Every structure is written in structure tokens, then in C-alpha cells.
Structure 1
Amino acid sequence: MAELEDLAFELRSKLLELCGTYEGAVHIGGDLSAADILTVLFSYGLRVDPTDIAAPDRDRFVLSKGHAAVCMYIAMAIRGFFEYDDIVATYGQLDSAYGMHPCKVQLPGVECSTGSLGHGLPLAVGMALGARHRGETHRVVTLLGDGETGEGSVWEAVMAARSNRLGNLVAFVDRNKQLMTSFAEERVMFEPYPDKWRAFGWNVVEVDGHDMGALVAAVDALPDPGSEVPTVVICDTVKGKGVDFMEHNLAWHAGSLGAADLERALAALGASRTKESV
């Protein structure tokens, strides 16, 4: 667990540094809430090989909350898909492989272009169903934000996945309980959230999305891909996690960091790491 915690700290540090060098806004709040989940997936859970990105038996990953692309890029860089400096050099520029939302045409290793919320799970359902028809045994894993699960297309996909007995499909939900301009329950009443997934017949796992041990245990306990029930791992997270002045702060859904803010953010991240390790 210590190694994964170190990698998540590295991811958050690099995320802040990129935010401090990029002149535009980065979706920093939701990136920070998803950092532990993406660290566990790319450095532990997903069966992928950065040196053979087209391996037929690889797991497929779909970033449904496409605005967390920076977090995914850095997780992939840490896993060895490419260099972190490559991201920093061109992030957000015209024709860059590292756009504000992921594009499979621009960046090999990305399985699916995403950005419009509510589309990732339906796409993952199609990928999982296609794999099942071809007799393939890999998993299709997707990461959603809880806000996008207010979209009707998500629940149509949830029903379709269970109807087609897609035990090879796993959805992680970054349940940080914040939308872009409000807290979730103020605009959309999600609760009782896990019960909604259970009502559609999914296997439901609830974890602390910042507890490496819990995340690893959830991955280890996933049903065999040949099973008939899809799984959702609902991760209780904090938007802006690790940077005290960003946590639970609607102003940091997206933003940029000047030199003083970057120094303050890195100091806060270091203090948070020290506090959690005591």
C-alpha cells in the first residue's frame, strides 16, 4: 500500500505543477478526488502493458468523466505509457496529444474519446458486450463522476449491462458529492445512491476512495469477468483532496495556479501527506 500511496502523492504533486505552468484552467478539484482511484487502476488493477498497448487480452479503460483527463494522463505516465514532461510540453494546445479531454486518435493507449458527460458508461457497455460476443475474457472498466449519473443515458446503460449479463464490466464512481457550481444534493437528489444501483441488479461495493487498502481490496474481490453481474465500486471521495483550501470548495472545480498559489498548494499537499502518515 505504501508504494501506491507514494505514487498517488507523486500524481497529485505533478498535477499541481502542471496546473501551475498551464495558463488556462484545469479541472483540478475532480482530478484530485480521482487521483487515488486512477493510481490504483493504472498501477495495480488494470491488466495493461505500456509496451504492447494493442494486446488483445488487455483490459479496456474508459474515462467517462473526461474532464479528469490530466489526472489520467499523469497516472498513465507514471505507469510508463509516456513521459510526464511530454504532457507538460503541449497540454491543451491545438493538435496536442494531451487535450483537455482524452482523444484516442491523438493519443495511443487511450481506448475511447470522451468529454460529453453520460456517454462513457454506454460506450463501455458496448465494448463489454462486444468482448462477450467474441469470447474475450478481459474487463472493461470505466470511471464516472457522480454528477454525470444524473444523466438518463447512464441509467439506460446500467439497465442494459445487467440485462446482457455483463460481468466483465466494472464501473468506478468518483462520489465527491459536488457538481460544477453546487453540492450534489442541492440540485440533484442522488441518495440513496447505492440503492439505485442495487435496484438495477448490479453488484455494489462501497469504499473510501482515498483508502488504498480499501481500493486494492475492492479490485482483488471483483467477480470473474465470465460472471453475469456487472459491478459498481462507489468511491466516497473529497473534491480537491489533499489541498486544504481546495477541499469541498466549489471555486476549485476548475482553475489555474499562479506561483504563490502553487507554492501554497504544494505545501498543503505535503502537510496533508505528513498528517495522514502519522
Structure 2
Amino acid sequence: MPLHNISNRQELVSFLKNKCVDIRKMIVQLTVTAGGGHVGGALSMTEMLVVLYQHILNIDPSNPKKPDRDRLILSKGHGGVGICPVLCDAGYFPKSEMDGFNQFLSPFGMHPDMNKVKGIDMSTGSLGHGLSICVGLGLAARLDKATWRAFCVLGDGECNEGSVWEAAMSAKHYKLGNVIALVDKNKFMIDGPVEQIMSIEPFEEKWKAFGWKTTVIDGHSIEQLLDTLENLDPPDSQTPQCIICNTVKGRGVSFMEGQGKWHYGGLDELLEKQALEDIEKTR
């Protein structure tokens, strides 16, 4: 259920856009605190996570383990600096708990730990595992006759992994309409452009060939995310769904946008100041 009580569509879009600005600022600040981080890919998936946690997922931050909650697996597990601010903003924990992010003894790190961070449904980091986990969750929900969904957020570079396609094949075979994949297609991976390192094209056609209902959207458009995620097939349908979100690495920060070198990076005081100013201009 939504974490807000906004019924007017225009007000909702404005509310979510402002949330994205706040989250992106927090991502930059946490990257500075950590001394570096996977900032580019965190900034590219902000709209996806904000819309999911604020409006789509059936969750209760005051009861993180409620049995009928929707599950979200961050398969691109290096995005801890991106998802933790979203969880904080949703009410899972106060911002002060993230002081010392990625420092010794802090529960918060670049790869979030399900045993330490409220709201994290699975510890991830080694790429290519999240969708398989969602297949297992989808099967478990069906056995329990439950109506919750398993959402998986993947990176496009991650889709080099053969295990992603084994999971895609399995989800269709077992007719898991309660499994939803969202791909953050920002076109870069740690080694460089995805197209040069290991092309995944034709990407949409691959998912369709594996039997998934597939939609391609602008991953930075709140309106398109709402329209797509609000109109998912019911959990008891028999076709898994993939939403390919075209995004920009480092979205919102002028010197990071579309720059593969910001897959991982650190910010000095001047760069932090510029990044925060750039992000505020998007409000």
C-alpha cells in the first residue's frame, strides 16, 4: 500500500519527484561519508526505487517482516548507497543510523546486509543471483496461496550473467506472474560500456523470447513508472513481467551523467558542492 495519502495525480507526481531530489542528495552525502561508492548506478535507479517504495509495494516499515509484504531483491547489490536512503525515507530507520555509512562497525555498507538493515529482503552483491531468488520467492508464495509479489531490480551489465537467463527461463516455465523484473539499463558496467564489454542486444526481444511480458519505458519518468507499475497483471497470472527502464548513469549530476567512470567514485568537497547544487536544480 502507498506510504502517502495523495489522491491527486499531479500532486503525486510532484511529491515523488521531490522525493527523488532528496534521495539523490542523500546518495551524494553518503558517498562522501563512505569515502567513495557506486554512485553512478545509485543515481540511475532513484526514480524506480522511490515509486516502488512510496507508492507500489505492499509494505509496512513499522513491521518490516510482515508475512504478506511484497519482497524486493536488489540484485545489483552494489547499490547499497542507493537503496538505503530510500528505505530511510520510507521510515524503516532514522537518518542518524546511517552516520558512518560503510565505516567500521556500521551496519550499513555498499552491499546491504539483510541481517543488519531493516527493509532488506536478501543480502546481495555477487551479481546474477537476485532473479533466481525471486523465482524461489514466487514459488513459495504460490504454495502458500499468497498474493504478494517478488520484485527484482537488476543492472543491464548484470544481465551478462547466465544465471539471469536460467532464472528467466524458470519463471516462465513455472508460470510465475508474481515475479516482476525491473532492469536499470544505464548502459555502463564497471569495465566500460555494456555494448562494448558484452552486448545484451536485442534486449527487449530476449526477454520476450523467454516468454516474459516486456515493457520498455523511460526509467526517469515518474509518470511512465506509475502507469506501468499500477497496471501490472495480477499476482495469480501466469506470465512473469519485465520492465526495461532506460536510464542515465549518474542522473542529476552534470559531471557524472553518462560517464562510465562514475560507476564507482569518490567526491571531494568541491565536487560534493557541485553535485548537490546540480541535483537541487532538478527540483
Per the normalisation by structure 1, the TM-score is 0.95
CA shift, 1:257, in A, is 1.0
CA distance in 2: counterparts of 1:135 and 1:201, whole angstroms: 23
1:96–1:106 Cα contact (<8 Å) kept: no
Moved more, 194-203 or 9-18: 9-18
Moved more, 156-165 or 176-185: 176-185
Q: In structure 2, which of residues 164, 168, 184 is the aligned counterpart of residue 158 of structure 1? A: 168
Where does residue 6 of structure 2 map in the other structure? none
Q: In structure 1, which of residues 189, 193, 202 is the aligned counterpart of residue 199 of structure 2? A: 189
Q: Following TM superposition, where does structure 1 have runs of at least 4 consecutive aligned residues deviating by more than 2 angstroms? A: 20-23, 93-96
Cα deviation 1:159-184 (Å, max 9, x = unaligned) = 00000000000010000111112111
Cα deviation 1:235-278 (Å, max 9, x = unaligned) = 0000000111101112211111111110111122223x16xxxx
CA shift, 1:94, in A, is 3.3
2:42–2:79 Cα contact (<8 Å) kept: yes
2:31–2:81 Cα contact (<8 Å) kept: no
Does 2:88 match 1:71?
no
Does 2:209 match 1:178?
no
Per the normalisation by structure 2, the TM-score is 0.93
CA distance in 2: counterparts of 1:251 and 1:147, whole angstroms: 14
CA distance in 2: counterparts of 1:68 and 1:57, whole angstroms: 25
Q: Given residue 119 of structure 2, which amino acid in structure 1 is its aligned partner?
A: G
Q: In structure 2, which of residues 24, 42, 56 is the aligned counterpart of residue 31 of structure 1? A: 42
* Identity between Structure 1 and Structure 2 (%): 39
Q: In structure 2, which of residues 8, 15, 24 is the aligned counterpart of residue 12 of structure 1? A: 24
Cα deviation 1:117-149 (Å, max 9, x = unaligned) = 001111111111111111111000010001011
Give the secondary-structure state (helix, strand or coil) at the position aligned to 1:31.
helix
CA distance in 1: counterparts of 2:21 and 2:258, whole angstroms: 19
Where does residue 235 of structure 1 map in the other structure? 245
2:34–2:100 Cα contact (<8 Å) kept: no
Q: Given residue 96 of structure 2, which amino acid in structure 1 is its aligned partner?
A: D
CA distance in 2: counterparts of 1:188 and 1:51, whole angstroms: 42
CA shift, 1:43, in A, is 0.8
CA shift, 1:102, in A, is 1.2
CA shift, 1:13, in A, is 0.9
Cα deviation 1:93-114 (Å, max 9, x = unaligned) = 2342212101111223211010
Residues paired across the two proteins, number: 271
Q: In structure 2, which of residues 201, 210, 232 is the aligned counterpart of residue 200 of structure 1? A: 210
CA distance in 1: counterparts of 2:179 and 2:105, whole angstroms: 32
Trace 1:1-278 onto structure 2 (pairs within 5 A): 1-23=13-35, 25-87=36-98, 89-271=99-281, 273=282
Give the secondary-structure state (helix, strand or coil) at the position aligned to 1:96.
coil
CA shift, 1:192, in A, is 1.1
Moved more, 202-211 or 100-109: 100-109
2:56–2:229 Cα contact (<8 Å) kept: yes
CA distance in 2: counterparts of 1:57 and 1:95, whole angstroms: 32
Structure 1 runs not aligned, ≥5 long: none
Give the secondary-structure state (helix, strand or coil) at the position aligned to 2:189.
coil
1:125–1:157 Cα contact (<8 Å) kept: yes
CA distance in 1: counterparts of 2:211 and 2:68, whole angstroms: 27
Q: Over aligned residue pairs, what C-alpha RMSD do you find? A: 1.1
Give the secondary-structure state (helix, strand or coil) at the position aligned to 1:14.
helix
Cα deviation 1:25-51 (Å, max 9, x = unaligned) = 210000000111111111111110001
CA distance in 1: counterparts of 2:252 and 2:53, whole angstroms: 20
CA distance in 1: counterparts of 2:188 and 2:276, whole angstroms: 23
CA distance in 2: counterparts of 1:107 and 1:14, whole angstroms: 17
Give the secondary-structure state (helix, strand or coil) at the position aligned to 2:228.
helix
